[in-house]
Structure 1
């Protein structure tokens, strides 16, 4: 299994590469955020946030886990990072878009669909969470 794609974010001026896709496609040595509780590789995740398929997490729980990832990215921008759920589209795209908003991307939904996958962020509820998140980032 391979990651679906990758994005690069500037974190405090440093480029940080983040792969996305199924969490079971976690690249060797990558520090991962697992959004799928039933992932066979969930135990390998550094960060966990269980989100139902096609669902949305509590916004503050998402913000907390993404803040922890950002802290790691600031400290070690050259490390490999991965965000994954079951297929790597809805929940993964939502988390990537929210992370992008936290790093200053003005239109995170458009950005994630352009740079990661056109099908990223699958449901209206996920789109709404990204829109609310972008306003408060």
Structure 2
């Protein structure tokens, strides 16, 4: 879904760690979390994005994958979510990976915490890691925290 090209010429490499929303995982991989309702932040585009929304997003000029994930809830398809998060983590080693939802906090924070688990953070510490390194409000609902604790 939403397969785009490699992005504009001259936009190779990884994220700038100082860019808004960019979180460094313990391995050094960089991923960006984003609130889609705030629009595109400008600057460098992602090469791959994972969007967590209740309904299908519009087309993007970069490669993107959509997961049906209603606001304040959990993903509808856990197997597809695990697959998509695994892909996002793998690609973050060599590409600019973005994770986003409408507000960029609950669903995005939950997904980023799962990426932290894939990167070696113990599941019971992943929410704290994301709150420290991305947003103190990340992972809003108790069931989202439980989802992260059981992820992996």
Calculate the TM-score normalised by the size of structure 1: 0.79
Which aligned pairs between 1:1-137 and structure 2 lie closer than 5 A? 5-11=21-27, 15-23=28-36, 24-25=39-40, 28-30=44-46, 31-36=48-53, 37=55, 39-40=57-58, 44-57=62-75, 58-74=77-93, 76=94, 79-106=95-122, 107-133=125-151, 137=152
> What value does the CA root-mean-square deviation take over the aligned residues?
2.3
Q: Which runs of 5+ in 1 are unaligned?
A: none
Using the TM superposition, give the Cα deviation of residue 50 of structure 1 relative to its aligned residue in structure 2, in angstroms. 1.7
Task: Label 1:49 to 1:66 Cα distance change in 2 as closer, same or farther (>3 A).
Answer: same
- Higher alpha-carbon Rg: 2
- Structure 1 or 2: more helix by fraction: 1
Q: Which runs of 5+ in 2 are unaligned?
A: 1-18
8 Å contact from structure 2 (residues 51, 66) kept in 1: yes
Using the TM superposition, give the Cα deviation of residue 72 of structure 1 relative to its aligned residue in structure 2, in angstroms. 1.9
Calculate the TM-score normalised by the size of structure 2: 0.72
**Using the alignment, how far apart are the partners of 1:55 and 1:105 within structure 2?**
23
